[in-house]
Amino acid sequence: MNKVGIKQFLRAVSFLCLLVLLTVAASYMLAPKDNTPEGGIINPNANGFFSEPENSIEIAVLGNSDAYSGFSPMELWNMYGYTSYVSAEGHQSVAQSYSQLKKIMSRHDLKLVIFETDELFIKSKLAETAAKIINASAGSAFSVFQYHDRWKTTGLRELFKKPCYTAHCATKGQWLSNDVKGYVGGEYMVKTDKKASIPLSAKAPLDMLVKACRENGIELLFLELPSQSSWNYEKHNAVKAYADKNGIPFLDLNIDRDRFGFDWSTDTRDRGNHLNSRGARKATLFIGEYLIRNYSLTDRRRDADYKQWHKDYEEYAKQVKI
């Protein structure tokens, strides 16, 4: 490269640096400054962990709607005293799970991540996946692409404010439903040797998620909650193969249904896609049994710092009608 070339190259690089700086600054300014719905955060329920006391959550549950419908942190707390949070979103992609994991890790010292595997079979755009992973790896420094529209609602003073998280989610991310719409069809877990395939846009971020857990000494558990409409044996085989290869335990409640008295006629809110609060209770208690046998998690029920959790349980219990 000649002299002019070097000069042009340096100029281009410095301009790009300027752009990155501006993007990061805009991301900081436009990021939601609170995790309440009014604060503008997307999926407030999945982000309630920001306002839990620091390092108070030991278990993070990641996944899509299956996870926030079918896992009950409050039941787990009441029976075993473990503190968990469901950071699940409708149609959460694996890249998004990875991003949520990074956010939780920035506030809590996790011991276990429970990953709900239903979302592994949803294809998403590779470019978007890459963008999400880059943003998550950079500590949401590029969140302006997600939150740019907040210029409409944010005030000038709020732009320069530090985030202050105040939301309180008593169900710890669970979405409660007391509806009962039973599933009456036949058996959907028909044994086969066939294996579904996990698309690259899910597998690549999953690898990163596994690596992030491993590097930070966090245990990882794959979980599949009962879902008649989105699950089958081929998917089970695919997850099993991945789990075995990477030495990750895999709990498929679709197969173990009878072992915890699960009943499709009473435990689903929408004819077999999602669980209702009764189904979630049954599933969570079963998972709790598994956790107590296989992990050394902390029972906080007698810990004075966790008094709020007892109150939250009461609040939760009031809302559960079935």
Least Å from the CB of residue 153 to another protein: 9
Q: Is 259 a residue that touches another protein (CB under 8 A)?
A: no
Q: Which stretch binds another protein (CB under 8 A): 80-88, 126-134, 214-222, 280-288?
A: 126-134
CA angle 169, 60, 57 (to 5 degrees): 65
Backbone phi and psi for residue 219, each to the nearest 5 degrees, phi listed first = -75, 150
By the 8 A CB rule, do 83 and 59 touch?
Answer: yes
Alpha carbons 202 and 222: distance in angstroms, whole number: 14
155 token code pair = 């005030």
Number of residues that bind another protein (CB under 8 A): 23
Task: Give, as ranges, the residues between 128 and 147 that touch another protein (CB under 8 A).
Answer: 128, 131, 144-146
Give the residue with the Cβ less far from another protein, 159 or 248: 159
Alpha carbons 20 and 17: distance in angstroms, whole number: 5
Alpha carbons 215 and 192: distance in angstroms, whole number: 35
Please tell me what DSSP assigns to residue 247.
T
Q: Is 23 a residue that touches another protein (CB under 8 A)?
A: yes
Q: Is 42 a residue that touches another protein (CB under 8 A)?
A: yes
Beta strands in 49-120 (DSSP E): 59-63, 84-88, 112-116
Least Å from the CB of residue 262 to another protein: 35
Identify the residue among 148, 259, 310, 311 touching another protein (CB under 8 A). 148
Alpha carbons 91 and 137: distance in angstroms, whole number: 21
Q: Which stretch binds another protein (CB under 8 A): 70-78, 122-130, 159-167, 267-275?
A: 122-130
Q: Is 197 a residue that touches another protein (CB under 8 A)?
A: no
Can you give the binding site for another protein, defined by CB under 8 A? Answer: 5, 8, 12, 15, 18-19, 22-23, 26, 30, 42, 125-128, 131, 144-146, 148-149, 151-152
